[in-house]
Structure 1
């Protein structure tokens, strides 16, 4: 296959939507998102990389990598002010809310409080939607028809989940089977169910309409949206609930083994993710139809798509669900080239990036070469061996994406602080001539931008010299992640000048 990667020399910034400033406790698809596009343009950048924007759950600590629906949108990100502009909410209602009760610290998302706040507001918008002319909008009907292959199942699942106190299906007690839904037996539950079903349709409609408008604005300004598709989905999801046949399950219809990775650069104990594993033999029988639909849907909202944990398509790590011991799992063969042969026919010229970090074998490298997809290079991994380390910038090649760090890495400041007085740091000082810089982070950023990789990505925290407190995710931990937020005014003209000048030195500044 020919390369499907990016061809121009470009650079971009990694910033999750939830990290944008906002008056409602979490970043949204409103004004601040549009302002960030403008910031990228002024800084000469070409790409905005985000994390998955699918719906999240409290049970999974709001991780964007464990969604309630693989095709769903994260309704926490719906912008409230845009709903006011549409006439779905009144300013009087918004002004009557004491926002201070919902925002403990503007630096971090408090998901429990934020969701309670936004659900209260969004439900009022829904009531206005169904009681007025909005419900008859042709655009709404078109959205429901175009997405029927996933939307109804997702809304069914989320409705019964809510009726059962937002618990995953295996903990439902009020009603646990859709066959139990009938007007005769459960009149009250049926009424709640129908209302919740329509409410979740409304949330998805509003998420997608706001997202596509934002994407159109970005594309109009020559900014590409770089998205992320997690390879696995959550057991607590409509996908698993309705399509258990796609997964490796036991006689009770529950996962027989689950996902994770053995010990690696991120964790000495390995990582127990706990997602159901795919039955690739079953999926191959219908040409991976669910996966093809999922990738096609991803390209409706993204211009570039990172396939998370690419190596699992060659071999995936299987952990006994009972032990939860990531050290004692086993590798099992994945679908390999057959999957990508079909993908290249179903989604020709797809602009895909392969997340090929962690334990990579020759077989995985062969599969990556076969697809032609760009892989990833992370400079933080470059100083733990010798000059042949593939994560050192002089070892990069064009068809790659170069990073100072990903959402799973330490910020550069944290990395420098925790690597101090080690052999890695001594090597980094020699390689980067760190003492010649006022701040060491600049040396690392310059090395990544100066590499021959077609695309370089720098998280906003690294441009801002933020420390450990600004880390997005620490693998193998729960409850402390996906919370970092920017404050108003931090993306100032001084930062624009720093980014644009540094990018321009290495031929990555795009003139508009």
Structure 2
């Protein structure tokens, strides 16, 4: 029986997977609005953006400085100019300097060029700070302290700051009030620009689909501000780290290095931190994917002293209690479970208990038996089906580098020795029974492996791909829309 908190969506939909940073300018400005318009032309009324949190230097949105704060690199200076808060000749300033000028103008109530200046008001900033106080105050302190200590991990800070001595933090706040206000105002600008983009997308019938990483980075405002919520020792060092055990893909497993949650502490206060996290994401997105969903049932804990993931153990998590709390407080938010990898009956039972759609990746479908759950014929309706995701190669790159037996299976399945990639796989995902079919932008553009977004287990060379408008032809738009229409995912 379907859980009433996750009503069945009988409308077949199509969407596109692309991070905001993959737009030509990588920002929430004109290119983002143009992309929404292109999605409508494509017949893809879901935009899956991946997480939009502020990343560390490697730019991975799955290892962020904060589970709440937005990626300020997405702020559009051009939007600030167009809405009357900055001068065009100020665009050569650094983002902090530009935001500072905008903040002073908002504070004085005077836009430069438009009587109907949009979005930003000083009273709105005050309301934003009040609404987000539970994370924003700590985040501003964290970011300022981090900058003042050469961007070192908080564990390397002087003990008074590392251990959050109240007197030291109070004194620091008094001295750096102007900087802290600027950090908070910068977040206000991000959230306002996102809200404007979301309103435009929703008006055009496009839903925004986000992503919530299951774990947070150790060097984050969250762990620094709430160490009791994580498995740390008296010196606030990690005792265990997250990862996945050895499997077919890796003899030593994956040692991610994220801290594990202290679920007993989190459950004792009704999952306050988690509900606050979901509250922020629910304002940004219409649909939200829970990354590494199996970690809500049990997660692989590795002693911090172990160099690999081999000598870990499964530790159960209160996923049912957490999901119950989330669905009660956010009954309208559509949740999706990232259930890739080795999934146990217990994980499946947890997903089914809340009627959460799982994920099906067509690049995983071939080379095995006919019972492979990723084969199009085996995909159930309550699923989100993909050609591939941000962690996979592009479909062209995948097919070119696939083992011979995989290519032969593809050819047999498609009844042709010369499948047209990526169009053949795109058509399969559209024709599948999945309620939602998602295609990475690289596959719409027909790009090879040079356009791959991320290679799991590597640090360098990821998260840098950007599309160019010249790559998207009228013929590609028409062909994709035809496949969407023929699969009953739009009318006409």
Say if 1:245 and 1:376 are closer, same or farther in 2 by CA, change over 3 A: same
Q: Report if aligned partners of 1:271, 1:475 keep a CA contact under 8 Å in 2.
A: no
Distance 1:502 1:72, change over 3 A: same
Equivalent position of 2:27 in the other structure? 28
Between the aligned partners of 1:290 and 1:415, the Cα distance in structure 2 is 39
Q: 1:173 to 1:251 in 2, by over 3 A?
A: closer
Structure 1 residue 153 corresponds to structure 2 residue 150? no
Shift of 1:328: 2.4
Q: Indicate yes or no: 2:222 matched with 1:225.
A: no
Residues 1:338 and 2:321 are matched in the alignment? yes
CA apart distance, 1:42: 0.9
State the Cα deviation string for residues 25-80 of structure 1 (Å, max 9, x = none): xx00001000000001111111000010011122xx12101111111111000001
Unaligned runs of 5+ in 2: 112-119
How does the TM-score come out when normalised to structure 2?
0.92
Aligned alpha-carbon RMSD (Å): 2.1
Query: In 2, distance between residues paired with 1:471 and 1:5?
Result: 33
Aligned residue number for residue 430 of structure 2: 449
Task: Report which stretch shifted further, 12-21 or 314-323.
Answer: 314-323
Q: Deviations over 1:69-112 (max 9, x none)?
A: 11111100000101112333211232x57xxxxxxxxxxxxxxx
2:343 matched to 1:360? yes
Native 8 Å contact 2:376 2:429 kept in 1: yes
Distance 1:267 1:118 in 2: 41
- What is the alpha-carbon distance in structure 1 between the residues aligned to residue 169 and residue 289 of structure 2? 40
Deviation at 1:344, TM superposition (A): 2.4
Aligned pairs (5 A) from 1:469-484: 469-484=450-465
* 2:475 counterpart residue number: 494
| Alignment-derived partner of residue 81 in structure 1 | 78
Higher relative contact order (CA 8 A, sep 6+): 1
Aligned position for 2:396: 413
Judging changes above 3 Å, is the alpha-carbon distance between structure 1 residues 181 and 390 closer, same or farther for their aligned structure 2 residues? closer
Shift of 1:182: 6.0
1:8-47 equivalences in 2 (<5 Å): 8-22=11-25, 27-47=26-46
Selected match of 1:170 from 155, 158, 161: 155
In 1, Cα distance between equivalents of 2:316 and 2:287: 27
Alignment of 1:58-457 (within 5 A): 58=57, 61-94=58-91, 117-126=94-103, 128-129=105-106, 133=110, 137-173=122-158, 176=161, 177=164, 179-181=167-169, 191=175, 193-264=176-247, 267-420=250-403, 422-435=404-417, 437=419, 439-457=420-438
Conserved 8 A contact 1:434-1:443: no
Q: CA deviation at 1:309?
A: 0.6
Offset at residue 259 of structure 1 (A): 1.0
Q: Which structure 1 residue ranges, 5 or more long, are not aligned?
A: 98-116
- 1:393-412 per-residue CA deviation (whole Å, 9 max, x = no partner) reads 10001000001011111111
What per-residue deviation string (whole Å, max 9, x for no partner) do you get for residues 372-400 of structure 1?
Answer: 10000001111132000001010001000
Note if contact 1:305-1:353 (Cα within 8 Å) is conserved in structure 2. yes
Other structure's SS at 1:328 match: coil
Task: Return the alpha-carbon distance in structure 1 between the equivalents of residues 121 and 285 of structure 2.
Answer: 28
Aligned residue pairs, count: 478
Q: Is the partner of 2:360 in helix, strand or coil?
A: strand
- In 2, the alpha carbon distance for the partners of 1:324 and 1:4 equals 44
1:313-348 C-alpha deviation (Å, 9 max, x unpaired):
111011122223122221111113222222222222
What is the rounded CA distance, in whole Å, between the counterparts of 1:467 and 1:268 in structure 2? 29
